[in-house]
Structure 1
Amino acid sequence: MYYGYRCYTKEDEPLGWLYTFNKNLEYAWTNRDFHLCKRWKTEKGAKKHFDYYNNNWQFKSKGGYLKIEVMPEFSESNSSAKSNQQRWNEANRDKVYESQEKYNQKRPIMSFRPKIELLEWLEEERRFDKDGEPETDAALLNRKLEKLKDLEQQGF
């Protein structure tokens, strides 16, 4: 169940359900494509933004108004069930890749194959927590590298 904004004319005639496009600059209504509409899971969420949308709708419709009402049931297709973040990521793939590259440059992932003797030694050095769970490979390697760095700074 969703709460949405039902659009009315200044003569109190119901038009349909409010949706926006063109980066929330254009307002329209529909009675079919409910997945496009502004909708909230709670009435409180709908009330939070009501004044903003109502003022814009009144201007656009030259005197009409909005009402918060329970929307008719509808099923979302897989493509329309995507979150705002997923839709933004798809629309801005170049920015996503660019920021991922920056992140990877600051925190590189290193891959290597240590010798069998080193793996056996690391397994002997692995610590266990109170519950008997072994520390992760990453935690073990980071701990050993920190120890090596400290020894190197001391002049060994």
Structure 2
Amino acid sequence: MKKVITTAAAICVTGLSVLATAPVASADDAQPTTPTSVTCGTYGLQSGLSTKVCAEVTGGNVQLFGQVGLAGPPSPGGPYPRPLPVTLRLTGNVSGVSLGAVGRNEVFDFTTIKVYGVGGAITCGSTIHGSFEVESYQWPARPVTLDLPAPC
């Protein structure tokens, strides 16, 4: 019985010494990360809401997103706005080549909504174009846009 315990202890010590001598991964060994830059177009008012379209560029890829939120706080003492059914549309292209389009119906309930789903590869010097629009029963769509030269 003593021999079994001694053998097991020797195996444990050997295993620990192997772990102790194993090289430790350092931060220098990690792959460099490509920074992401976010650029947004000017804000617009659509359906009484603040809207914008932005581009997230990481290396040779772009991801567009549209955002809709309250244009400002409700008037003091006034009624809080009612939830508003809206239709949201996000489109994009790179130098005229479509990146796709996303459309969806939402109920805006005073919480910022972001719409993603349009993106793809970009080449140095190309122009990234994004468009985001919000439409509601009383208000027609008035798109906000972004035109951004792709970085080299």
State the TM bucket, normalised to the shorter chain. under 0.3
More helix by share: 1
Structure number with greater CO (CA < 8 Å, separation at least 6) is: 2
TM, length-normalised to structure 2: 0.21
Q: What is the TM-score normalised by the length of structure 1? A: 0.21
Flag the structure with larger Rg. 1
